Amino acid sequence: MTRTALVTGGNRGIGFAIASGLTSKGIDVVIGSRDAVAGRDAAHRIGARSVQLDLQDRASTEAAISQIDDVEILVNNAGVLGTGDLFSDDAQFKASMEVMVDGPYHLLKAVTPYMKRNGYGRIVNVSSGWGAFSDGVAGPGAYGVAKAALNALTVSAARALPETIKINAMCPGWVRTRMGGSSASLSAEEGADTAIWLATLPETGPTGMFFRDRERIGW
């Protein structure tokens, strides 16, 4: 049986590596991209599908979900890094929360009813050590605050969802992408490994936890 996965921000970087890795496992992958052309190009390269998806636009989110067959795997990967300090830019704070908290929340609301009926679901929230209280909620601007909120959403959703739906957060580490920069220590494929593992967990797999390098880490 072929399962369907939606990977947000899957047109480049870690998201593309996740989409490619899931496709290689025989999963029907849909790349969600704000830039429709970039999404189509990325999907074509790996034999996936694409859908235009702007997490700052509720209508776009609803339209995207309506175009996809029932989603059994959701990877909330899309993110914005931002610059400056927490209070330097109201629009930046708003965008961070919309893309990394509100968007994932509404996608969860949209896809989990089918997962419940189907008795199967895997959800991966691509977070960051910068969103961990154990690491001081670091990062530029509102990035750490948004990732901390995404972590909290992961914990709360795990309580609200049945055991047949596994939802976990993960930190990919410092990855060589447009966001991470060329000096980062990990390739996109290395950064994507834990997300792919969590997206394909067996029935006995964990839920409501935070991982890096397939190892549980503190919130």
Give the per-residue pLDDT at 1: 76
Q: What are 154-196's pLDDT values in tens digits?
A: 999 999 999 999 999 999 975 666 666 667 678 889 999 999 9
Nearest to 29 by CA among 192, 172, 148: 192
DSSP letter for 175, please. Answer: B
- Percent with pLDDT over 90 in the chain: 85
Give the per-residue pLDDT at 201: 98
pLDDT surpasses 90 at 136: no
Q: Record the tokens describing residue 140, joined without a space.
A: 């530029």
Q: What are 53-112's pLDDT values in tens digits?
A: 999 999 999 999 999 989 999 999 999 988 878 998 899 999 999 999 999 999 999 999
Q: How far is CA 46 from the centre of its chain?
A: 19
| SS3 per residue for 178-193 | CCCCCCCCECHHHHHH
Spell out the residues 6+ positions from residue 155 whose beta carbon is closer than 8 angstroms to its own: 208, 219
Q: Record the tokens describing residue 189, joined without a space.
A: 């494929």
pLDDT surpasses 90 at 138: no
- Percent with pLDDT over 70 in the chain: 95
Q: Could you tell me where the DSSP H helices lie in the chain?
A: 13-24, 36-46, 58-66, 90-97, 103-118, 143-160, 188-199
Q: Give me the mean pLDDT over the 40-61 stretch.
A: 97
**All domains of the chain in start order, with CATH:** 4-216 (3.40.50.720)
The phi and psi torsions of 106 (rounded to 5 degrees) equal -70, -30
Catalytically annotated residues = 143
Spell out the residues 6+ positions from residue 210 whose beta carbon is closer than 8 angstroms to its own: 127, 132, 151, 154, 168, 169, 170, 171, 216, 217, 218, 219
Enter the pTM of the model.
Answer: 0.95
